[in-house]
Amino acid sequence: MEEKGELYLVGFGPGHFNHLTFRAREVIGRANVVVGYRTYIDLVADLLEGKEIVATGMTEEIDRARVAVDRAQKGERVAIVSSGDVGIYGMAGLIFEILSEIGWKPAGDFSVEVIPGITALSAVASLVGAPLTHDFAAVSLSDLLTPLGRHREAAPCGRGGRFCDRPLQSAEQAAGLAAQKGSGNFATL
């Protein structure tokens, strides 16, 4: 009888090893195959000894997702790693789209587990002493998998319903505050 595959969708946080959850470490350790963007693979390299690595470049998210699903279907234990939280502009949404396409069912030939990670949003807020409280909204402005025009339709800002036109300024301000706190590199959070 063939062994049942396992697919772990792993968010490993903002990049510093100390922010990796216990469960993320555990499932990366359990995996035979680790799939990820090259930079992300490098960030968890200390956990990858003896594992098959499938590393791809930026904009190859769909290929990574398909490889991970395919390998799990074949009975392998696969971890696909994503920075931050895998379910917040990470690989989880894409993986679940592919699972839907192939008709995957939880009782099927492989299991799927989502392992959340610390988001860059919450890590930066902690670093700069600006907790995210009460009413706040966050919008990913990446157009890698979502055309940029869709962001304006889906994410009006504030009670007036207008789009936030100055997110880059906010990111630059956060980077400046991080530098003042002694860390200009978010990977060192």
Chain segment 55-98, per-residue pLDDT in tens:
999 889 999 999 999 999 999 999 999 999 999 878 999 999 99
- Judged on CB neighbours under 10 Å (0-12, 13-18, 19+), 10 is buried
Residue 164 has pLDDT above 80, yes or no: no
Beta carbons of 183 and 127 less than 8 angstroms apart: yes
State pTM to two decimals: 0.76
Q: Provide the pLDDT for residue 157.
A: 53
Beta carbons of 119 and 14 less than 8 angstroms apart: yes
Q: Give the whole-angstrom CA distance, residue 82 versus residue 116.
A: 10
Instruction: Give the pLDDT band (50/70/90) at residue 50.
Output: very high
Residue 131 has pLDDT above 90, yes or no: no
Beta carbons of 5 and 112 less than 8 angstroms apart: no
| CATH numbers and ranges of domains, the chain | 5-118 (3.40.1010.10), 121-188 (no CATH)
Q: Provide the pLDDT for residue 133.
A: 79
Least-confidence region, from 4-8, 104-108, 182-186 = 182-186
Q: Provide the pLDDT for residue 128.
A: 83
Q: Give the whole-angstrom CA distance, residue 88 versus residue 97.
A: 15
Provide the 8-state DSSP code for 22. Answer: H
Q: Which residue has the higher pLDDT, 178 or 60?
A: 60
Instruction: Give the pLDDT band (50/70/90) at residue 147.
Output: low
Beta carbons of 149 and 115 less than 8 angstroms apart: no
**What does the buried/exposed string (b/e) look like for 105-140 if buried means 16 or more CB atoms within 10 Å of the residue's CB?**
eeeeebebebbbbbbbbbbbbebbeeeeeeeeeeee
Torsion of CA 36, 39, 45, 49, to 10 degrees: 40
Percent of the chain clearing pLDDT 70 (strictly above): 72
Q: Give the whole-angstrom CA distance, residue 33 versus residue 98.
A: 19
On average, the pLDDT of the chain sits at: 81
Q: Give the whole-angstrom CA distance, residue 85 versus residue 9.
A: 10
Q: Provide the pLDDT for residue 59.
A: 86
